[in-house]
Structure 1
Amino acid sequence: MPSQPTEHVTVSAQRSAPDKVALPELSDDLLGAVASGTHHDPHSVLGSHPVAAEGVSDALTVIRTRRPLATRVAAILDSGARVELTHVHSGIWQGAHVTGHQPYRIEASYDGGPDWIADDAYAFAPTIGELDLHLIGEGRHERLWDVLGAHHRTLGTADRAVHGTSFTVWAPHASAARVVGTFNDWSGEAHSMRSMGGSGVWELFVPDVEPGAMYKFQLRGRDGEWVTKADPLARHAETAGLTASIVTESHYTWNDDEWMTARAASNPHDGPMSVYELHAGSWRLGLGYRELADHLIDYVTELGFTHVEFMPLAEHPFGGSWGYQVTGYYAPTSRFGNPDDLRYLIDRLHQAGIGVLMDWVPGHFATDAWALARFDGEALYEHPDPRRGEHKDWGTLIFDFGNPQVRNFLVANALYWLEEFHVDGLRVDAVASMLYLDYSREPGEWLPNIHGGNENLEAISLLQEANATAYRRNPGVVMIAEESTNWGGVTAPTNGGGLGFGFKWNMGWMHDSLQYIANDPMWRSYHHGEITFSFLYAYSENFLLPISHDEVVHGKGSLLGKMPGDHWQKLANLRAYLTFMWSHPGKQLLFMGQEFGQLSEWSESRDLDWWILDQPAHRGLHSLVTQLNRVYTENPALWALDNSPAGFEWLDGGDSTHNIVSFLRRDGNGDEIAVFMNFSGATVGPYRAGLPQAGIWDEILNSDAGDFGGSGVGNLGSVTARDEPWAGRPASADITLPPLAGLWLKRRR
């Protein structure tokens, strides 16, 4: 029961009965504000309150409730006593009793209708505690989703439980707040919320509201205007096109204990990681989260990828944004099912030994009027200055990264996906747009920082906090930056001034290598630096090599379409390119469809070109990717020292005449793999190559093999290196290098 200030009234000693006591008089203005739902603290009037009356020997309690249009109202105490209430003003009724402060229900009678009995929303104490409010005030509540939003709860007493939902929202600029939904016909006067003081939080427990109920918040701005908003902390939302939040609670039982235990004991930065990026809605049209589990797991397991990466799954209104313009940061999109359905998908992936990454978009958000934009009548989540708060290129708003509560909203959101959905890592979108105040802005369109520079100091601090907190609370996860500039220290520790990410997308490698491979082989010798330059900075950060959705949209065509030559040559070039990618230092990511040579540019509105797998040449490319993943994961030399120069050594990086690059990959435990890439259109051989040791070197992968759709040129399974020095190496071998192909040789031990 709530602990309310005692109301005071003076009466004579003879007037001790409740019906003879003059109850405190409340002004019509106060009662009118409470009745209309515009008062900041309706619980100070409504509900149950002790009354201190001079000369009255028994403890007196006044009960007030709002029941407009009722003809008779009574409070039914849990003791069974009945307290008749009298109409006071604007649908507010009151009465008093001397039986002590105790739970009650309200009975109301209406003309032409049955009596209506229900628990009163104003009979309950706040469901958010002082410690929670303190942490919110400091911007340090790491499980914010546990206290804000809608939560189905059981309150009441041991003798009589009361089921309902607590609604809690942060709206510091609001002068009043109400909750509306299917439980009150979307009229909020009966469910005005109480202000929890300087925290800016508003709260109300509404009895009998069960999971599945839809709701929104009505917020009265300081200008007196009302706005109706979806819940920023909603954990479930209506399907795109509709905008209400949905009360939800999880009943899911996880079955991935083995995976989670192993994850906590692992270091993903030093392990194998080949990522299959996909858009859940168009991988196969019409599949929900649960159906995806069956189809996707079989497919990814066959291909051998270690992880899948989902493009954003947080709720977003426009499918064409692919999830990068978010309205519901804590709500998995309802397009594919409910939150427990997503838990099921991730659980199944883990049980199959597949890690799960997800795109996260903390840099900007959608402008829809029913969501975060001008949330409580003015700028709140977005920076109020358009020079920092608007992203004109994308038509979005930019978070106010310096606001402690906004930072808390974002940091807790990262933790929410890692902890509530067991996601193994987040790929943070558009980090460059967060780091620079002048990102995509002309002179005069941006506001310098306090030092006069273009660095967004508040955004930097947010990223550092999010990364450090994620790693501290969830050992074994990975935070990945999509960062396209030469910002230093993206993957350096935060305690040394770095941003604290685990990996950075190597956008330079992507740009240069695609530019190189697009050239006809006869001209590649003039562009040799484009294929070798990435090795100069390969260890300046912990890199992931991305061929993502961004490379196959907006008129860029498909990955196969970027390759030169006729169809056979295009496929051969693509096989060589992927072989180079898998052997290059760093982890790798490939967007869906490229594993079988999708012909058309990707569109979120249609299926992938699955039919093309019926063509042997494209099935061969699919087989190559499968083999790349198998050989990659089985050989630590290709990943154990990804982030150390000790894992790489050139054999020959300067053979531009033949369009050949060759190098060694090592694991630090004696295993070595020699990589030979022949980007020319002709077979080269015998090709004399220096090697670190004599002996038999097995041909563990040849992208030109007939099984992959190649010409079948090779070395009969192995080559023998002799103790004959060559090119500064103590041993050498004569090797046949297939055209437009990659060759991996592993020294037999």
Structure 2
Amino acid sequence: MRGSSRGVRTAAPPADEERRRLLGGTHHDPHALLGAHPVRGGLLLRTLRPYAKSVTVLAKGLRAALHPEGDGLFAGVLPLRGIPEYALLVEYADTTVTADDPYRFLPALGELDLHLLGEGRHEQLWEALGARIMDHQGVTGTRFTVWAPNARGVRVVGDFNHWDGTAFPMRSLGSSGVWELFVPDVGEGELYKFEITRPDGSRSLRADPMARRTECPPATASIVTASHHRWRDADWMARRGARPVHEAPFSVYEVHLPSWRPGLTYRQLAEQLPAYVKDLGFTHVELMPLAEHPFGGSWGYQVTGFYAPTARLGTPDDFRFLVEALHRAGIGVLMDWVPAHFPRDDWALAEFDGRPLYEHPDPARAAHPDWGTLEFDYGRAEVRNFLVANAVYWCEEFHIDGLRVDAVASMLYLDYSREEGGWTPNAHGGRENLDAVAFLQEMNATVYRRCPGVVTIAEESTAWDGVTRATHHVGPGGFGGLGFGLKWNMGWMHDSLGYAAKEPVHRKYHHHEMTFSMVYAYSENYVLPISHDEVVHGKRSLVSKMPGDWWQRRATHRAYLGYMWSHPGKQLLFMGQEFAQGAEWAERHGPDWWLLDPSYGAEPDHRGVRDLVRDLNRGYAAAPALWERDTDPGGFCWLDGDAREDNVFAFLRFAADGSPLLAVANFSPVVRPGYRLGVPGHLPVWHEVLNTDAARYGGSGVTNPGPLTAQPVPWHGRDASLTPVLPPLATLWLRPG
């Protein structure tokens, strides 16, 4: 039953310009016109409800109908003093609804939040911006906030208002550029976007840049969400930083989750991936980017939802469940993070509020020359805040143990992939992007301060000085270190793969390509990566890069892995390479798991390589000489780095207590019996602890089964020597004792 308008005086109408701006979605302060406001003789209450037949105010002891003002506006002056709690009974042609009035609430974003936003120092930005379910002034609803400083107006639209934002204009919170609206009764699972009126008067529907959950692509709406996950990995979190990462075993299995086992969800992956990785002995998984991205073929490297795990595999809590399952299996979780660029989709970040906002205002600086994307404006405090907080977000909200930062080189250099005249030097006349340098330093410093035990890893392909140096240590170039914990060794990857791809008869002419890495091995803290980038786009899989017949390819593949695991630096291997998949990886179908099926009837060569990887990881973890002094030149010594005629590389690795491990790689297809190697004379007996030519790995079975006794024959500058047999195309590990 409608309320009576008796005693409700007609309100003075708003000025024509105010009315036009409100109805047109360009009013900066809709709360000044809507909601309840004390006036002489009572309380003015106005609401905007398009298509309503009537609106009745419900308050304690009051039921009063408002007068229609046209265009969906209803208003009246009620005989009340003070602003009571009230609701609106809205009658439409086919239904009647009762709802709290969004315009009776004070701003739900605090002054401290706005201050930190203005300074670009809000380290938990996701707590301030986006859609957050909350209790506000005793009412449960969702606070919507968005940064859009160039917008003439912003309205929130979604399922809850039938995607018509006319009745839901947001207010501008001063000079912050933030727009805010608390909407009662809107809760978890609601779809929404922001309708932005641009400076030119046109309108655009935009997904929330801070959305913590999204629709599954190709749908693009944001989703109101809240986490209900209760973490059970406290032991892991407490001990993960007990040992510095560069002094710890660190063996990484790189995974593209959507194609590792195609069709599995996060929770289904949690049943299979941890067990598989643990069985193979990897210490970490590295997940290719999981932030929401519209095109699956980008593998996650063109991000539109920086704060939302991709909905292709489940909800954010489902992803938390997977991370926890990996932690409970003793496996660290690294994730690719992509702050270098973003795509141009017109519903996402590009010219978000009608002008360049997240991208650089100079079109030449904004356009990425290689990928058809846009580069972030690292010099703008709010943009830098968006990215720094995003790095913290993944670590704090999802317990991620490390971030591998993609495409760092493209961020660091103003002339990256640009022709002469296509770029502008920095203030000092150089080609360094000073804003990006400052951003990376701030990101690393903030993550390490807030998230104990987390490691950041740079994919950086140049000789930039100090990538893994502390930010407060200034190098020869005048820059402080970038502050990363580790850096991908792209030079080692390129040189070693180039060497291994040569026919053995030609390798002696390229011997230096394998030894050169030790010239700079201690300039940074390195990871040795055989990543997805090396097994796609015509580059062939790892085993298919190797020359010779199938047996020689597999043997060289095994020898290469043995050499990689014994070389200074951590190691990373992309899925499928652990069992010598012959085909290139394709995200449509993932690894060829059938190669491991005994019922397939093929020879067990793929299973043998998988068994080798398992033994490499277990032997690696058990040998501190292979990881404890990775960044200490005293942890490595060539025995023979110039045996080019033999295609042999022999070196010692040393643990912190001085105990050695001898690694020998023979990249020749011939057996070398009695190959003399110098060893310390005080260690008389040595044992073969790994041989990539063992029959169980698919090799020819040329081994050193018994103990090797050192002879008092000086060699390689040592006072004793061993004479093991070197199998063809194989790597040996020997330990004393």
TM bucket, shorter chain = over 0.9
Task: Tell me whether 208-217 or 719-728 shows the greater mean CA deviation.
Answer: 719-728
Mapping for residues 120-135 of structure 1, pairs under 5 Å = 120-135=101-116
User: Are 1:735 and 2:724 counterparts?
Assistant: yes
The Cα of 1:148 is off from its aligned counterpart by: 0.5
Q: Deviations 1:24-69 (Å, cap 9, x if unpaired)? A: 5521321232234321110011112222x3xx6xxx3222111234
Name the CA shift for 1:190/1:21 in 2 (closer, same or farther; >3 Å). closer
Alignment partners' CA distance in 1, 2:96 and 2:259: 53
Alignment partners' CA distance in 2, 1:22 and 1:709: 91
Q: What amino acid maps onto 1:596 in structure 2? A: F
Q: What amino acid maps onto 1:533 in structure 2? A: F
Contact 2:131–2:143 (Cα < 8 Å) also in 1:
yes
User: Are 1:720 and 2:714 counterparts?
Assistant: no
The Cα of 1:90 is off from its aligned counterpart by: 2.8
Q: Which of 510, 523, 527 does residue 540 from structure 1 map onto?
A: 523
User: Are 1:531 and 2:514 counterparts?
Assistant: yes
The Cα of 1:503 is off from its aligned counterpart by: 0.6
Alignment partners' CA distance in 1, 2:384 and 2:165: 30
Alignment partners' CA distance in 2, 1:90 and 1:472: 54
Q: What amino acid maps onto 2:339 in structure 1? A: P
Task: Tell me whether 31-40 or 531-540 shows the greater mean CA deviation.
Answer: 31-40
Alignment partners' CA distance in 1, 2:713 and 2:253: 43
Alignment partners' CA distance in 1, 2:707 and 2:354: 72
Q: Which residue of 1 aligns with 2:477?
A: none
Q: Deviations 1:456-494 (Å, cap 9, x if unpaired)? A: 000111111111100011111100000001111000000
User: Are 1:747 and 2:724 counterparts?
Assistant: no
Q: Which residue of 2 aligns with 1:459?
A: 436
Q: What amino acid maps onto 1:597 in structure 2? A: A
Q: What amino acid maps onto 1:143 in structure 2? A: Q
Q: What amino acid maps onto 2:466 in structure 1? A: G
SS at match of 2:204: strand
Contact 1:721–1:732 (Cα < 8 Å) also in 2:
yes
Q: What amino acid maps onto 1:518 in structure 2? A: A
User: Are 1:37 and 2:37 counterparts?
Assistant: no
The Cα of 1:264 is off from its aligned counterpart by: 4.0
Q: Which residue of 2 aligns with 1:13?
A: none
User: Are 1:504 and 2:487 counterparts?
Assistant: yes
User: Are 1:597 and 2:558 counterparts?
Assistant: no
Contact 1:689–1:732 (Cα < 8 Å) also in 2:
yes
Q: Which of 47, 54, 74 does residue 65 from structure 1 map onto?
A: 47
The Cα of 1:392 is off from its aligned counterpart by: 2.5
Alignment partners' CA distance in 2, 1:69 and 1:187: 11
Q: What amino acid maps onto 1:314 in structure 2? A: A
Q: Which of 127, 134, 147 does residue 128 from structure 2 map onto?
A: 147
User: Are 1:105 and 2:105 counterparts?
Assistant: no
Q: Which residue of 2 aligns with 1:318?
A: 295
Q: Which of 696, 703, 708 does residue 692 from structure 2 map onto?
A: 703
Q: What amino acid maps onto 2:534 in structure 1? A: E
Q: Which residue of 2 aligns with 1:187?
A: 164
Alignment partners' CA distance in 2, 1:383 and 1:603: 34
Mapping for residues 664-683 of structure 1, pairs under 5 Å = 664-683=652-671
Alignment partners' CA distance in 1, 2:37 and 2:491: 68
Alignment partners' CA distance in 1, 2:468 and 2:676: 39
The Cα of 1:217 is off from its aligned counterpart by: 0.4
Q: Which residue of 2 aligns with 1:628?
A: 616
Alignment partners' CA distance in 1, 2:305 and 2:293: 7
Contact 1:229–1:370 (Cα < 8 Å) also in 2:
yes
Contact 2:8–2:64 (Cα < 8 Å) also in 1:
no
Mapping for residues 159-308 of structure 1, pairs under 5 Å = 162-308=139-285
Contact 1:31–1:89 (Cα < 8 Å) also in 2:
no
SS at match of 2:270: helix
User: Are 1:609 and 2:597 counterparts?
Assistant: no
Q: What amino acid maps onto 2:538 in structure 1? A: G
Alignment partners' CA distance in 2, 1:282 and 1:681: 36
Contact 1:32–1:89 (Cα < 8 Å) also in 2:
no
The Cα of 1:610 is off from its aligned counterpart by: 1.1
Q: Which of 679, 702, 711 does residue 691 from structure 1 map onto?
A: 679
Mapping for residues 404-483 of structure 1, pairs under 5 Å = 404-483=381-460
Contact 1:173–1:378 (Cα < 8 Å) also in 2:
yes
TM-score for the superposition, normalised by structure 1 = 0.94
Contact 1:31–1:92 (Cα < 8 Å) also in 2:
no
Contact 1:620–1:708 (Cα < 8 Å) also in 2:
yes
User: Are 1:641 and 2:623 counterparts?
Assistant: no
SS at match of 1:396: coil
Q: What amino acid maps onto 2:690 in structure 1? A: L
Contact 1:308–1:357 (Cα < 8 Å) also in 2:
yes
Q: What amino acid maps onto 1:222 in structure 2? A: P
Alignment partners' CA distance in 2, 1:287 and 1:664: 44
User: Are 1:381 and 2:358 counterparts?
Assistant: yes
The Cα of 1:559 is off from its aligned counterpart by: 0.7
The Cα of 1:18 is off from its aligned counterpart by: 11
Alignment partners' CA distance in 2, 1:327 and 1:137: 23
Length, aligned pairs only:
720
Contact 2:146–2:180 (Cα < 8 Å) also in 1:
yes
Gaps of 5+ in 2: 474-479, 598-602
Alignment partners' CA distance in 2, 1:395 and 1:69: 44
Q: What amino acid maps onto 2:148 in structure 1? A: A
Q: Deviations 1:226-251 (Å, cap 9, x if unpaired)? A: 11100000011111111111111110
Alignment partners' CA distance in 1, 2:584 and 2:611: 22
SS at match of 1:292: helix
Q: Deviations 1:435-456 (Å, cap 9, x if unpaired)? A: 1011001112112111121100
Q: Deviations 1:371-430 (Å, cap 9, x if unpaired)? A: 000100111101121221001310100001101000000000000111100000000000
Alignment partners' CA distance in 2, 1:146 and 1:718: 62
Name the CA shift for 1:743/1:130 in 2 (closer, same or farther; >3 Å). same
Q: What amino acid maps onto 2:503 in structure 1? A: D
Backbone CA RMSD of aligned residues = 1.5
The Cα of 1:699 is off from its aligned counterpart by: 0.9
Q: Deviations 1:115-148 (Å, cap 9, x if unpaired)? A: 3221111111111111001101110000000110
Alignment partners' CA distance in 2, 1:563 and 1:167: 56
SS at match of 1:258: helix
Alignment partners' CA distance in 2, 1:657 and 1:62: 95
Contact 1:62–1:97 (Cα < 8 Å) also in 2:
no
Task: Tell me whether 717-726 or 613-622 shows the greater mean CA deviation.
Answer: 717-726
Contact 2:625–2:653 (Cα < 8 Å) also in 1:
yes
Alignment partners' CA distance in 1, 2:722 and 2:655: 22
Alignment partners' CA distance in 2, 1:333 and 1:566: 42
Alignment partners' CA distance in 2, 1:652 and 1:708: 27
Q: Which residue of 2 aligns with 1:76?
A: 58
Task: Tell me whether 485-494 or 680-689 shows the greater mean CA deviation.
Answer: 680-689
Gaps of 5+ in 1: 1-16
Name the CA shift for 1:70/1:284 in 2 (closer, same or farther; >3 Å). closer
Alignment partners' CA distance in 1, 2:506 and 2:94: 87
TM-score for the superposition, normalised by structure 2 = 0.96
Mapping for residues 301-380 of structure 1, pairs under 5 Å = 301-380=278-357
Name the CA shift for 1:64/1:618 in 2 (closer, same or farther; >3 Å). same
Q: Which residue of 2 aligns with 1:9?
A: none
Task: Tell me whether 580-589 or 285-294 shows the greater mean CA deviation.
Answer: 285-294
Alignment partners' CA distance in 1, 2:47 and 2:56: 9
SS at match of 1:575: helix
Percent identity at matched positions? 59
SS at match of 1:122: helix
Q: Which residue of 2 aligns with 1:4?
A: none
Contact 2:678–2:717 (Cα < 8 Å) also in 1:
yes
